[in-house]
Amino acid sequence: MFGWEFPPHNSGGLGTACFGLTRALAGRNIEVIFVLPKKVGVSSSYAKMVFADERRVTFHEVASSLKPYVTSEGYIRERDAFLRDIYGNTLLQEVRRYALRAREIAKKEHFDVIHAHDWLSFLAGLEAKRVSGKPLILHMHATEFDRTGGQGVNQEVYDIERSAMEQADGIIAVSNFTKQKIVEHYGIPAHKIEVIHNGIDECDYADIPERLMEIKRSGQKIVLFAGRITIQKGPEYFIRAAQRVLEHNPNVLFLVAGSGDMERQIMLEAAHLGISDRVIFVGFLRGNDLNAVYKAADLFVMPSVSEPFGITPLESIIAGAPVLISKQSGVSEVLTHALKTDFWDTEDMANKILGVVSHRSLWQTLWGNSREEVKKVTWDTASKKCIDYYARVLCGGM
Amino acid sequence: MASICFYFQVHQPFRVKDYRVFDIGNDSEYFNDNSERSINNKKILEKVAGKCYLPANAVILELLNKHPEFKASFSFSGVFLEQLEMFSPETLKSFQKLVATGRVEVLEETYYHSLSFLYSPEEFRRQVALHREKVKKLFGVTPTIFRNTELIYNNALAHEVEKMGYKGIIAEGADHVLGWRSPNFLYRPQGTKKLKLLLKNYRLSDDIAFRFSSRDWADFPLTAPKFAEWASQVNGNGNVINLFMDYETFGEHQWEDTGIFNFLRHLPEEIYKHPDNDFVTPSEAVARYDTVAELDVHHFMSWADVERDLSAWLSNPMQHDALDTVYKLEEDVLASGDEKLIDDWRRLQTSDHFYYMCTKWFNDGDVHKYFNPYNTPYEAFIAYMNALQDLKLRTTRKSDLGMKANVKSGKKVTKSVQKPVVKKKK
């Protein structure tokens, strides 16, 4: 399995998903060799902590001090030159280095299926397929169209995604929403794509500390945004909805947990709208810091412009806050007990936020039902579907 | 003797539009959605009239003409009749034509198809009286049989209905109440003297209403001869087969292409093939048959869901909150004397609003979801509570005006209240 990040050194949902799926696969007696590009990615003590008793998972970390990547394969060389010239940043160099090391690892290790997560590991997956002849399954956690909100799609990234999907033996999409995108934007036939929704394991969310209790005791309501402050996550819609809510009820506090390239812009927007004192930027949070904020919140809002899945609403529900999610999200396919909105409809968003903060009965019903629903959305279910799909791909029956 | 007693429920609520929090204080029209959504009351009524009411009425009229002994009964909610007057006078005429034959009985219910009996017996009696007036005005008849909203029933209701002078009352033949007993007899509600209880034969009723077009059902397809044969089997061990169902069964729940209209068209002639069978209206059944035993129904039952209890309207905190809130306004709304305000308040009591908030089986894509015009029960709740908040504001304004007028007599009060204030009782 080729990944890019792994908890606790993850910047988002991809690492969480890789961790959850790997652990569940190990639980179903699938031996996983998880390859990460960087030494810093996973500390061995952490890996031992989680998998000490079940040694089915082996971690391979690729040293980052590699020589420039040269390959006899024409297509890679061509792309290399192309990418270096135009994109020219370290991210793509990393991706290429990763592919080089992947080839060596694939020669040494024994495995039946190659499973690569997101475009960053796709070249690695392709190299492994080339040298081993084993089937390659790509796991699409996001497409370039989601990451960019459809604006300014990076052609190189798109090309990697597209050509990898064309060469792969099978594709897993994290939602029907994503499958649809792959079919529409990449011209991949629908029958080549299997939808496997992400999951969540409750046991990872025990003993969440209580924080922000002073605010709650003062009778203020807390509405939370948690995610990268980037165009994909729709933070500006959150701020606009906040303004509408505050016009009606000034006793609501809006928390923004996360960081990203739009952080400054969003802060200025809040100031411009005159609501800076009611919008608190708490920075990037992880682990129990993030869980504590979920728990303190009265409502979690995910106004994503395009969200292939979105694990954060599931985390929020387990931690204690019901959710308002964008209809343009994969998670809305598995959550019926959620408030849903179009990301651009800030009036509707504000109306629903006010509904939750004004009516305790709505909060109780919504959270209570969603809490039950999330219990069924497990990584074990996802891993079972993965294993079935491996079997089908191995039989060539997809 | 096996008498078939048809009772069709005909009801459409005034659905609340997507009423947002920002509309509070600015817009007092809660029921006038004019979008393509299924909360557009006019659009729904016209659609159902075309698919169900008009064609089904044509079949019933045809049967009345063809079989001089054929009979049926209807219960119309007041809010349904009002919508016919507003949106489809043609449909109203076709119902009036049926009743004019003298062989179609009209039953009594609460005008607003409400749960008022559970919250306010006074309001319940007022709404029954309003219904009585409406039926008299539109059909020229006075009902003698009562049916409560969604067949919600218990001993206390029976006592109340007897006091109000009705001869019979209709309820669900729920297993948990009947036990080994048969719904095909009349019963005496516990503690009543003269009132007779007619119970729905839910197996035979649901064969038509729910299973008719179900291909998973062993008895599919259901034909008129087959159904008549089942009905005839009651001969000798029952007096009356109560086939109670939503009228929308014909053409709306079971579409025309399932053959439901042909089934209805041919059922009477098949029923008549057995010489001991006939058709009765509820009041005829009450006049003709004696009760066989007393039936003690302490807890409320209804005809909804498998539970046959109140859980379709009262099972989650939102539903309790919404119902408590609307009935808490009773005294102030009525005191306002404002007819439009009172009417809006009553329209907000219609049981459907609370049904739409039900989350019981919401995620299984079941019947609740099918009948829910809102995307989720939560959206139904939000729109409803926003509208109710506006109604509360209107009520407060009214009573503030009244109070101020009393204090500063003669002085016109121009300042309006901007925010909803909880009225303080002296």
State pLDDT tens for residues B186-217.
999 999 999 999 999 999 999 999 999 999 99
Contact between A374 and A314 (Cβ < 8 Å) = yes
Mean pLDDT check: name the lowest of B153-157, B262-266, B301-305, B403-407.
B403-407
Task: Encode pLDDT of A103-151 as tens digits.
Answer: 888 888 889 999 999 999 999 999 999 999 999 999 999 999 988 877 7
Nearest in space to B3 (alpha carbons), one of B71, B61, B68, B64: B71
Contact between B54 and B62 (Cβ < 8 Å) = no
Domain membership of residue B301 (yes or no) is no
pLDDT for position B425: 41
At B180, which CATH number? 3.20.110.20
Q: Are residues B375 and B270 in the same domain?
A: no
Model confidence band, residue B245 (pLDDT cutoffs 50, 70, 90): very high
Domain edge (last residue) among B264, B295, B326? B295
Of B317, B362, B375, the CB nearest to A364: B317
Task: Encode pLDDT of A77-94 as tens digits.
Answer: 444 444 444 444 567 877
Per-residue tokens: A286:
């992880």
**How distant is the Cα of B353 from the closest Cα of chain A, in angstroms?**
15
Report the greatest alpha carbon distance in chain A: 67
Partner-chain contact B378 A355, CB within 8 Å: yes
Domain edge (last residue) among B235, B261, B295? B295
d(CA B387, CA B402): 23
Q: Are residues B120 and B25 in the same domain?
A: yes
What is the radius of gyration, based on Cα positions, of chain B? 23
d(CA B399, CA B387): 19
Model confidence band, residue B368 (pLDDT cutoffs 50, 70, 90): low
Pairing between β-strand A114-117 and β-strand A136-140 as defined by DSSP bridges: parallel
**What ipTM goes with this model?**
0.88
Select from A365, A371, A374 the residue whose CB has the most chain B CBs within 10 Å, as the one to mutate to test that interface.
Answer: A365
Q: Are residues B347 and B205 in the same domain?
A: no
Domain that holds residue B340: 317-402
Per-residue tokens: A24:
């569940």
Q: Are residues B265 and B392 in the same domain?
A: no
Is residue A101 predicted with pLDDT exceeding 70?
yes
- The H or E element that residue A31 is part of is none
d(CA B59, CA B354): 33
User: Which domains, and CATH codes, for chain A?
Assistant: 13-199+379-394 (3.40.50.2000), 202-374 (3.40.50.2000)
**Residues facing residue A78 across a β-bridge:** none
Please name the residue that has the structure tokens 């005496």. B188
Task: Encode pLDDT of B36-82 as tens digits.
Answer: 999 999 999 999 999 999 999 999 999 999 999 999 999 999 999 99
- Plot region of B165 (φ>0 → left; ψ -120 to 50 → alpha; else → beta): left
The torsion angles phi and psi of B169, rounded to 5 degrees, stand at -140, 150
Is residue A308 predicted with pLDDT exceeding 60?
yes
Q: DSSP state, A231?
A: G
Of B21, B320, B376, the CB nearest to A361: B320
Domain membership of residue B386 (yes or no) is yes
Is residue B303 predicted with pLDDT exceeding 90?
yes
Contact between B252 and B52 (Cβ < 8 Å) = yes
Mean pLDDT check: name the lowest of A8-17, A35-44, A155-164.
A35-44
Task: Encode pLDDT of A34-79 as tens digits.
Answer: 888 765 445 433 332 222 233 345 667 664 333 222 222 333 444 4
Compute how many other C-beta atoms are within 10 angstroms of the C-beta atom of residue B15: 24
Partner-chain contact A361 B378, CB within 8 Å: no
Contact between A229 and A259 (Cβ < 8 Å) = yes
d(CA A67, CA B145): 92
Local structure of A368: helix, strand or coil = helix
Contact between B109 and B147 (Cβ < 8 Å) = yes
For residues B142-156, give the mean pLDDT.
98
Q: Are residues B365 and B238 in the same domain?
A: no
Is residue B423 predicted with pLDDT exceeding 50?
no
d(CA A171, CA A190): 10
Task: Encode pLDDT of A68-77 as tens digits.
Answer: 222 223 334 4
User: Going by C-beta distance under 8 Å and a sequence separation of 6 or more, which residues neighbour residue A248?
Assistant: A350, A354, B21, B22
Local structure of A22: helix, strand or coil = helix
Per-residue tokens: A284:
């990037």
B419: nearest CA in chain A?
A: A248
pLDDT for position A29: 87
B385 reaches A (C-beta below 8 A): yes
Residue A192, CA distances (Å) to A114, A170, B65 in order: 16, 6, 62
Q: What is the mean pLDDT of chain B?
A: 93
Q: DSSP state, B28?
A: -
The amino acid that residue A86 corresponds to is: I
Q: What is the mean pLDDT of chain A?
A: 86
In chain A, beta strands by DSSP E: 32-36, 57-61, 114-117, 136-140, 170-173, 193-195, 221-226, 252-257, 279-283, 299-302, 323-326, 339-341
Partner-chain contact A351 B20, CB within 8 Å: yes
pLDDT for position A106: 87
pLDDT for position B413: 42
Express as a percent the part of chain B with pLDDT over 90: 87
For residues B144-162, give the mean pLDDT.
98
The torsion angles phi and psi of A55, rounded to 5 degrees, stand at -90, 30
Please name the residue that has the structure tokens 């990037």. A284
For residues A347-368, give the mean pLDDT.
98
B26 reaches A (C-beta below 8 A): no
Q: Are residues B249 and B380 in the same domain?
A: no
User: Going by C-beta distance under 8 Å and a sequence separation of 6 or more, which residues neighbour residue B80?
Assistant: B10, B11, B12, B113
Domain membership of residue B305 (yes or no) is no
B365: nearest CA in chain A?
A: A336
Q: Are residues B122 and B184 in the same domain?
A: yes
Partner-chain contact B316 A365, CB within 8 Å: yes
Query: pTM for the complete prediction?
Result: 0.89
Give the count of Cβ contacts less than 8 A between chain A and B. 76
Domain membership of residue B138 (yes or no) is yes
pLDDT for position A87: 40
d(CA B69, CA B271): 12
pLDDT for position A33: 86
Contact between B383 and B18 (Cβ < 8 Å) = yes
d(CA A33, CA A2): 8
Q: Are residues B42 and B164 in the same domain?
A: yes
Domain membership of residue B421 (yes or no) is no
Q: DSSP state, B107?
A: -
Per-residue tokens: A231:
């165009």
Dihedral in degrees, nearest 10, Cα atoms B228, B229, B234, B235: 100
Residue B250, CA distances (Å) to A247, B8, B12, B98 in order: 49, 10, 15, 16
CA of residue A99 relative to chain centroid, distance: 22
Partner-chain contact A355 B21, CB within 8 Å: yes
Question: Angle at the Cα of B81 (from B79 to B85), degrees rounded to 5?
Answer: 115
Indicate the angle between helix axes A155-167 and A176-186, nearest 10 degrees. Answer: 100
For residues A191-215, give the mean pLDDT.
93
Per-residue tokens: B339:
């007819």
For residues A243-261, give the mean pLDDT.
96
pLDDT for position A75: 36
**How distant is the Cα of B133 from the closest Cα of chain A, in angstroms?**
37
Local structure of A12: helix, strand or coil = coil
Q: Are residues B7 and B102 in the same domain?
A: yes
Partner-chain contact B22 A359, CB within 8 Å: no
Per-residue tokens: B172:
């669900």
Please name the residue that has the structure tokens 């990234």. A157
Select from A299, A342, A359, A375 the residue whose CB has the most chain B CBs within 10 Å, as the one to mutate to test that interface.
Answer: A359
Residues of A in contact with B317 (CB under 8 A): 360-362, 364-365
Domain membership of residue B410 (yes or no) is no
pLDDT for position A243: 98
Per-residue tokens: A114:
């190659």
pLDDT for position A55: 36
A354 reaches B (C-beta below 8 A): yes
Residues of A in contact with B362 (CB under 8 A): 336-337, 369
Of B109, B150, B162, B252, the catalytic one is B150
A333 reaches B (C-beta below 8 A): no
pLDDT for position A390: 96
Domain membership of residue B117 (yes or no) is yes
Q: DSSP state, A274?
A: T
Q: Are residues B243 and B135 in the same domain?
A: yes
Is residue B414 predicted with pLDDT exceeding 90?
no
**Chain A residues 201-260 with a CB less than 8 Å from chain B:** 244, 248
The amino acid that residue B182 corresponds to is: S
Contact between B178 and B171 (Cβ < 8 Å) = no
Dihedral in degrees, nearest 10, Cα atoms B21, B27, B33, B36: -60
Please name the residue that has the structure tokens 């409502």. A299
Q: Are residues B211 and B359 in the same domain?
A: no
d(CA B361, CA B385): 22
Q: Are residues B113 and B244 in the same domain?
A: yes
Select from B19, B323, B363, B419 the residue whose CB has the most chain A CBs within 10 Å, as the one to mutate to test that interface.
Answer: B363
Contacts by A212-217, CB closer than 8 A, 24 or more apart = A212/A292, A212/A293, A212/A296, A213/A296, A215/A253, A215/A296, A216/A296
pLDDT for position B398: 87
Per-residue tokens: B87:
């949106």
B319: nearest CA in chain A?
A: A361
d(CA A339, CA B377): 10
d(CA B87, CA B77): 15
User: Going by C-beta distance under 8 Å and a sequence separation of 6 or more, which residues neighbour residue A186?
Assistant: A143, A161, A162, A165
Local structure of B70: helix, strand or coil = coil
Model confidence band, residue A8 (pLDDT cutoffs 50, 70, 90): confident
Give how many domains chain B has, as a whole number: 2
Domain edge (last residue) among B260, B295, B330? B295
Of A248, A340, A351, the CB nearest to B382: A351
Q: DSSP state, A169?
A: S
For residues A262-284, give the mean pLDDT.
96
Partner-chain contact A369 B362, CB within 8 Å: yes
Per-residue tokens: B226:
């087959």
- Annotation marks residue B150 as catalytic: yes
Domain membership of residue B287 (yes or no) is yes
Contact between B113 and B350 (Cβ < 8 Å) = yes
Mean pLDDT check: name the lowest of A146-160, A191-205, B341-355.
A146-160
Partner-chain contact A352 B321, CB within 8 Å: no
DSSP string, A56-74: TEEEEE--S-PPPP--S-H
Task: Encode pLDDT of B314-327 as tens digits.
Answer: 999 999 999 999 99
**How distant is the Cα of A338 from the closest Cα of chain B, in angstroms?**
8
**How distant is the Cα of B313 from the closest Cα of chain A, in angstroms?**
14
Model confidence band, residue B236 (pLDDT cutoffs 50, 70, 90): confident
pLDDT for position A74: 36
d(CA A197, CA A239): 29
Residue A233, CA distances (Å) to A46, A146, A259, A324, A346 in order: 30, 9, 11, 13, 14
